[in-house]
Chain A
């Protein structure tokens, strides 16, 4: 009876409101179709695009991340106790990263904090090294090389990346190992007698990481520099500027958004790299992602791992935002 009443009133209401809704809907529709996006793609395609993007964002990115964030504030419980009285939110996973166990002698958890700091610094170093290596290449491709040359160069840059990441990392081991190509060659030349352990000195790691992201560094910068009118470079030169000032005052300011977007990507990916540090890192050095991986894997402590991962993510975003602020680049410019 009750159900019937609800349905009945609902139908009645709907009938009463129908003309109003219809009028409003017409209004709404004209407003929607006035939006450029809908006008360009048509109703069906726009709906599909919006739904697809929203679904992608929500299910693949936002929900898992939120889930992970929530996870990071919980205790690591055996399955039986999940949902029980002990399953409450806590800050202890974060506390652990900073202070370690209460029973420890030291105040701070230096072991993990130093790995974290080292990862950030090393990623900055890798980013800067990549920038220094790739800017001249990007400039050459965009402003100096003639059509055919530039295409050949792009090919030479891309083809090595058909080899997969792990294989490439091992190739770097072979290159830099104590019995590796470089050591053998240098010993053969008589530069030194004892092999130098490049891997222990993390040379292999930095080389491997830098190489892994050169394309991500080159192409955004290339795009930015390519859009620079060549006459501006010549005008600066004609006014007497030496090459470094032309770059400093004309090319780099123009390419700044491209440089920022490339550096952001390379920094984020370096800080989040796992395979290269695993394979090329020296025996004593750890990458922060390796610590996270240990928590999830051998440590079996997902909440702890989530907390570490979340800290890394936030730290990276904060760092990138700060740097962008300092260099006066906005997110809008980067996506141009």
Chain B
């Protein structure tokens, strides 16, 4: 069984401080849904409101269509995996997993059975009698998942569960979590500040900033079609070019960005004369050595020259930093073809990109990284 979760104009305040501001969305039953945003943007607060530890100041939380007001965390069909796991250190692994069943009055034998079954699922067969402290980080992680799944919740809530693990394990756990979700088929609501996690695992993502939900959509749409400057700069690497809107057509906006005239996709939010950002991703910038092709050619649209600041080798790609109009360098990512070509510091390059691969957005707040 899986239940849908609905946030109905949910606002949560702590005193004067608004931690969650008018969140309004519906998470479908059986969906893997992520909240993505920088630390302190209100993700945990939303999760705690769904699990019942925080009360809405305004609005409602509905689970399976039912208003949850007045229903305590112990009475909701949700299970929460805490950021620090919160396993019980004085109980064995099996007792931890079976705690929820003990609460529901199952006898020892039935608990043992179910615990063993779950230990199988998380690949910790025969380790039920160990203490939690005897397990590694990844194993503890899985015990926390098993403990939550033991009570057969309809919604599983995960609060940055992978943040304490090292990189390799984190990547492994991503696929594992996704597989577990497919197997048990319940709704997963996942919180993270790591866009890689959100993009690889989720059916849909809600990108948050400062208590507000900026955009909801699947990985492709938040990555390729950001709706706000924050989403464009937070999800994936992006190069913001600031400028003034010169003209607006249905499909494109033309801007004067100082270093070049830039044509970018129009999302219907800009007016002529307005200040705006054009965003181009590093992988969409094409670099060529020298100051422009062909003698005397005018600097056409979406093309400018910039000197190289540094080159960083990343294996499959090279990241080239270029001096741009602002303090922050412009980053270009070019595939490593193994030809040994180097962009040494000071080398003058010509940069160009397609208008389809740039997007113009009003000046909102940028993610500062």
Contact = CB atoms under 8 A, between A and B. Distances in A.
B74 A241 contact: yes
B336 interface: no
Interface in B65-110: 72-75, 78-80, 82, 84, 86-88, 90-91, 99-100, 102-104
Contacts of A203: none
Given A240-B74, A250-B88, A235 B103 contact: no
Nearest to A250: B88
A248 to B, nearest CB: 11
Chain B at the A interface: SS class: mixed
A234 interface: yes
A238 B90 contact: no
B90 A253 contact: yes
B54 to A, nearest CB: 11
B132 to A, nearest CB: 11
B82 A235 contact: yes
Given A231-B84, A245-B103, A249-B99, A237 B90 contact: no
B265 interface: no
B103 A238 contact: no
A234 B82 CA distance: 9
A232 B99 CA distance: 12
A238 B148 CA distance: 9
B45 to A, nearest CB: 14
A237 B91 CA distance: 16
Contact of A241 (B79, B87, B103): B103
Nearest to A230: B86
Contact of A234 (B53, B78, B103, B104): B53
Contact of B151 (A234, A240, A242, A254): A240
A239 B147 contact: yes
Interface residues of A, number: 17
A236 interface: yes
Contacts of A245: 103
B2 interface: no
Given A236-B99, A249-B99, A242 B86 contact: no
Nearest to A246: B74
A249 B99 CA distance: 9
A231 B100 contact: no
Contacts of A234: 53, 73, 80, 82, 86
Contacts of B99: 236, 239, 241, 249
Contacts of A81: none
Interface of B: 51-53, 72-75, 78-80, 82, 84, 86-88, 90-91, 99-100, 102-104, 147-148, 151
Interface of A: 229, 231-232, 234-242, 245, 249-250, 253-254
20 contacts: A231-B84, A231-B86, A234-B86, A235-B80, A235-B82, A236-B88, A236-B99, A237-B73, A237-B74, A238-B51, A238-B53, A238-B74, A239-B103, A239-B151, A240-B103, A240-B151, A241-B103, A242-B74, A245-B103, A254-B90
Given A238-B74, A241-B103, A253-B90, 13 more contacts: A231-B82, A231-B86, A235-B87, A239-B147, A239-B151, A240-B74, A240-B75, A240-B100, A241-B99, A242-B103, A245-B103, A249-B91, A250-B88
